[in-house]
Amino acid sequence: MDHKHQCVALNDGHFIPVLGFGTTVPDKVPKSEVIKATKLAIEAGFRHIDSAYVYQVEEEVGLAIRSKIEDGTVKREDIFYTSKVFCITLSLGSLHST
Protein backbone atom coordinates (compact mmCIF):
# COMPACT_ATOMS: atom_id res chain seq x y z
CA MET A 1 0.00 0.00 0.00
CA ASP A 2 1.45 3.39 -0.90
CA HIS A 3 1.78 6.19 1.65
CA LYS A 4 -1.16 8.20 0.27
CA HIS A 5 -3.56 5.42 1.24
CA GLN A 6 -2.32 4.54 4.71
CA CYS A 7 -4.93 5.55 7.27
CA VAL A 8 -5.55 5.66 10.98
CA ALA A 9 -8.89 4.59 12.46
CA LEU A 10 -10.80 7.26 14.36
CA ASN A 11 -13.06 6.49 17.30
CA ASP A 12 -16.17 7.19 15.18
CA GLY A 13 -15.30 4.48 12.64
CA HIS A 14 -13.89 6.79 9.98
CA PHE A 15 -10.32 6.48 8.69
CA ILE A 16 -8.08 9.53 8.22
CA PRO A 17 -5.09 9.45 5.88
CA VAL A 18 -1.82 9.66 7.82
CA LEU A 19 -0.28 11.89 5.16
CA GLY A 20 -1.75 15.36 4.91
CA PHE A 21 -1.08 18.17 2.45
CA GLY A 22 0.34 21.14 4.36
CA THR A 23 -0.90 24.60 3.42
CA THR A 24 1.65 26.95 4.96
CA VAL A 25 3.34 29.36 2.55
CA PRO A 26 5.95 32.10 2.89
CA ASP A 27 4.61 35.65 3.06
CA LYS A 28 6.09 36.48 -0.34
CA VAL A 29 3.98 33.80 -2.09
CA PRO A 30 0.59 35.11 -3.27
CA LYS A 31 -2.35 33.48 -1.51
CA SER A 32 -3.80 32.63 -4.91
CA GLU A 33 -1.02 30.03 -5.18
CA VAL A 34 -2.52 28.25 -2.15
CA ILE A 35 -5.70 27.70 -4.15
CA LYS A 36 -3.76 26.25 -7.08
CA ALA A 37 -1.54 24.06 -4.91
CA THR A 38 -4.46 22.71 -2.87
CA LYS A 39 -6.41 21.87 -6.03
CA LEU A 40 -3.37 20.05 -7.43
CA ALA A 41 -2.93 18.15 -4.17
CA ILE A 42 -6.55 16.97 -4.27
CA GLU A 43 -6.17 15.98 -7.93
CA ALA A 44 -3.03 14.03 -6.97
CA GLY A 45 -5.00 12.06 -4.39
CA PHE A 46 -4.57 13.91 -1.10
CA ARG A 47 -7.69 13.71 1.05
CA HIS A 48 -6.21 15.08 4.27
CA ILE A 49 -5.58 18.83 4.12
CA ASP A 50 -3.65 20.29 7.06
CA SER A 51 -3.63 23.96 7.99
CA ALA A 52 -3.44 26.34 10.94
CA TYR A 53 -5.07 29.63 11.88
CA VAL A 54 -1.69 31.40 11.86
CA TYR A 55 -1.15 30.53 8.18
CA GLN A 56 -4.07 32.85 7.29
CA VAL A 57 -5.02 30.76 4.25
CA GLU A 58 -8.27 29.25 5.49
CA GLU A 59 -10.40 31.04 2.90
CA GLU A 60 -8.14 30.00 0.01
CA VAL A 61 -8.01 26.38 1.13
CA GLY A 62 -11.79 26.38 1.49
CA LEU A 63 -12.22 27.76 -2.02
CA ALA A 64 -9.96 25.06 -3.44
CA ILE A 65 -11.78 22.27 -1.61
CA ARG A 66 -15.17 23.64 -2.63
CA SER A 67 -14.02 23.86 -6.26
CA LYS A 68 -12.90 20.22 -6.30
CA ILE A 69 -16.22 19.15 -4.76
CA GLU A 70 -18.19 21.15 -7.31
CA ASP A 71 -16.26 19.74 -10.27
CA GLY A 72 -16.83 16.19 -9.02
CA THR A 73 -13.22 15.33 -8.19
CA VAL A 74 -14.12 14.51 -4.57
CA LYS A 75 -17.10 14.34 -2.27
CA ARG A 76 -17.17 16.36 0.94
CA GLU A 77 -17.16 13.21 3.03
CA ASP A 78 -13.85 12.20 1.40
CA ILE A 79 -11.96 15.26 2.68
CA PHE A 80 -10.38 15.64 6.12
CA TYR A 81 -9.47 19.24 6.94
CA THR A 82 -7.36 19.61 10.07
CA SER A 83 -6.30 22.87 11.64
CA LYS A 84 -4.43 24.06 14.68
CA VAL A 85 -5.23 26.84 17.12
CA PHE A 86 -2.58 28.01 19.56
CA CYS A 87 -3.56 27.89 23.23
CA ILE A 88 -2.77 31.58 23.76
CA THR A 89 -5.51 32.47 21.27
CA LEU A 90 -8.17 30.44 23.03
CA SER A 91 -10.83 31.66 25.38
CA LEU A 92 -14.01 29.87 26.35
CA GLY A 93 -16.09 32.33 24.36
CA SER A 94 -14.01 31.83 21.21
CA LEU A 95 -14.67 28.08 20.92
CA HIS A 96 -17.54 26.89 18.78
CA SER A 97 -19.22 23.52 18.79
CA THR A 98 -19.29 21.69 15.45
How does pLDDT run across 59-89, given as a tens digit for each residue? 999 999 999 999 999 999 999 999 987 766 5
How does pLDDT run across 33-50, given as a tens digit for each residue? 999 999 999 999 999 999
92 occurs within a structural domain:
no
69 occurs within a structural domain:
yes
Q: Measured in whole angstroms, how far is the alpha carbon of residue 69 from the centre of its chain?
A: 13
Mean pLDDT, residues 14-26: 93
Q: Judge whether 46 and 17 are in contact, CB under 8 Å.
A: yes
Structural domain boundaries enclosing 10: 3-84
Angle, helices 58-70 vs 32-44, to 10°: value is 40
Please tell me which residue in 37, 50, 51, 55 is annotated as part of the active site. 55
Q: Active-site residue 55, yes or no?
A: yes
Is the pLDDT at 3 greater than 70? The verdict is: no
Mean pLDDT, residues 20-38: 94
The whole model's pTM is what? 0.82
- Residue 92 DSSP code: G
89 occurs within a structural domain:
no
32 occurs within a structural domain:
yes
Domains of the chain: total: 1
38 occurs within a structural domain:
yes
